[in-house]
Amino acid sequence: MNPFRQKNKTWAKTIIVVAILGVLACAGAALFILYHRPPTPPAKHVNDIFTVIIDAGHGGRDEGTKYKNVKEKDITLAIARQAEALAPQFGLRVILTRHTDTFLNPVARVGFASTQNADAYVAIHVNELRGYSYVQGMQVYVSNKNPDFESSRLLGSAVSQRLGADFKVSPRLQQRAANIFVLADNLMPSILVECGFITNPTDLKLLTDSTKTLLIAKQILAGVSAYAKHAAIKEYAVQISSPASNTRHHGVMASTPARNKKGHKKANRTA
């Protein structure tokens, strides 16, 4: 026998065996992946569940208001994250603008919201009033520049009423003459919730208590859910504050209004 032919035959056998082993290995791997991959969630349309953007105010180098080492940016993020965790209980889809301590300008917040095909937008903030520590309570803001002003008003009323079951809340919706960019420029019903005054001892206590912030998150979602389900909602009147009466709000205003300390105090004392 030709020794070269014998060698070629052996090589051919080896190649066939390697090829068969290769095919078996690939098939095995494919079967392993098929049976061990996580189940694919059922495909669904974006709008088959009411979707709300929860925008934690401030972040990163923008701390918001600060009092006794408590920073607004941390409180707003805590409430937003609690709302995200609670969303399934309310049959809602919650999308956060930020999950971490990162800076976002108002344009980026509105731009992000516009890409999410969401049904509503809720900004979370904390108020302050230096020198008037007795001023306390929550306020909900709307903007008549929002294309869905009437819906925003309904949404704001629903959230105010739910928050009012557990907390001190202004019985009127607030609107700034100098508009709040994230409310005016969002193309969906939009509200801003001021969750209390960091400068008031009672509010500061609840804003730094995770069981209380959980309750704030819960009632905000309960309000959103009532709005989503077209529940009967008593509409609140809208109180317009003068440009001089704005409390400090880093990153929220499109333009910084002239601040008049006297007007600032007066408007908030009636809130």
Q: How far is CA 56 from CA 27, 192, 204, 216, in A?
A: 48, 10, 17, 13
C-alpha–C-alpha distance, residues 49 and 33, integer Å: 31
Under the binding rule (CB under 5 A), the answer on residue 264 touching Zn ion is: no
Q: Which of 125, 162, 212, 264 binds Zn ion (CB under 5 A)?
A: 125
Site string for Zn ion, 17-56 (x = CB under 5 A): ----------------------------------------
Least distance to Zn ion, CB of residue 37, Å = 43
Count of residues of this chain found to bind Zn ion when the rule CB under 5 A is applied:
4
- Judged by CB under 5 A, the stretch of 120-128, 132-140, 184-192, 260-268 that binds Zn ion is 120-128
C-alpha–C-alpha distance, residues 196 and 119, integer Å: 26
Under the binding rule (CB under 5 A), the answer on residue 106 touching Zn ion is: no
Query: Scanning residues 61 to 80, which ones bind Zn ion (CB under 5 A)?
Result: 64
- Judged by CB under 5 A, the stretch of 29-37, 91-99, 122-130, 203-211 that binds Zn ion is 122-130
- Tokens of residue 137, six digits: 């309570």
Query: Scanning residues 218 to 257, which ones bind Zn ion (CB under 5 A)?
Result: 249
- Tokens of residue 242, six digits: 């003068």
C-alpha–C-alpha distance, residues 144 and 176, integer Å: 9
Choose between 92 and 182: whose C-beta lies nearer to Zn ion: 182
Q: How far is CA 46 from CA 40, 93, 99, 116, 118, in A?
A: 16, 10, 21, 9, 9
Using CB under 5 A, list all residues that contact Zn ion.
57, 64, 125, 249
